[in-house]
Structure formats: C-alpha cells, structure tokens
Amino acid sequence: MSIAAAALAAALGLAACDQFATGRDLPPPPGPPAPPSPDLPMTAAKARLIMGTLSNTCMELATLKYDMHACEQKQGKPASDEALRTELRDLRWNLDKLTADEASAQCAATTNELRKTPKPRACW
C-alpha cells in the first residue's frame, strides 16, 4: 500500500513539474526594496541615509549633492528639498541594480565630475 502511495505521489509530482515547465512563465525576480524617504527638510545625514548600505564612495556623493543643494539655497537660488530627496532615491534605486563594485565606480565617476564644478565664494 505505501509503495502505491509513493508511486502516486511521484507521478503527481512529475506531472506538476511538467505542467510548470511548459505552462506559465516564471514571475520576474523582485526588484530592490524602495529606498528610504526621510522627512523634509533635507540634511546631509538624511542624504546619506537614503544611500543606505552602499559604499563610502556613494555616501560621499550623497553628501556632495546635499552640499551643492545647500550652496544653491545660500545663494538664494530655488532649490527644492523634495527634488533632492527624489533625485537621491532614484539614484539609490538605480545603484541597487548594479554590483557593489559597479555602483562604487559609478559613484566615484559622478563625484569626480561634480567636484570639477567651481564652488561659489558664498558657499565657502
């Protein structure tokens, strides 16, 4: 009796695998979790919080982006905290899709480009 039950279970299992292999497509793997969305107004610490567990290079980029944002505010230019938060969250979302080395390299390249921008006297 137990041999018959085992054979039946094996047959059903194989039938299920066969249907699975020929029937439906596999669902896509889940994407990275949504980055944090800290309360406004933005600060350098909140900018780094959005970067989460990414490399120090990416933390440096987030800090630099915040510093540039704060510099614009000091000069009386329109600078939206919400826009900065969205930009950093989008950046984090895209970096999470890369390997750690690729993300760090991209952050380093972007940081180097941003550092070429002269810092206005009012922001020193």
Please tell me the pTM assigned to this model: 0.74
Q: In the block, which residue shows the tokens 């939206």? A: 80
**Bond prior to 29 in cis (omega within 30° of 0):** no
Amino acid in the structure at residue 15: A
Q: Which domain holds residue 44?
A: 1-124
pLDDT at 29: 75
Domains: count for the chain: 1
pLDDT at 35: 87
pLDDT at 17: 52
pLDDT at 112: 97
Residues 81/58, Cβ–Cβ less than 8 Å:
no
More confident residue, 95 or 7: 95
Helix (H) or strand (E) holding 72: helix 56-74
Average pLDDT over residues 29-55: 90
Tell me the Ramachandran region of residue 48: left when phi exceeds 0, alpha when psi lies from -120 to 50, beta otherwise: alpha
* Residue length of the chain: 124
pLDDT at 66: 97
Query: Both tokens of residue 26?
Result: 């596999």
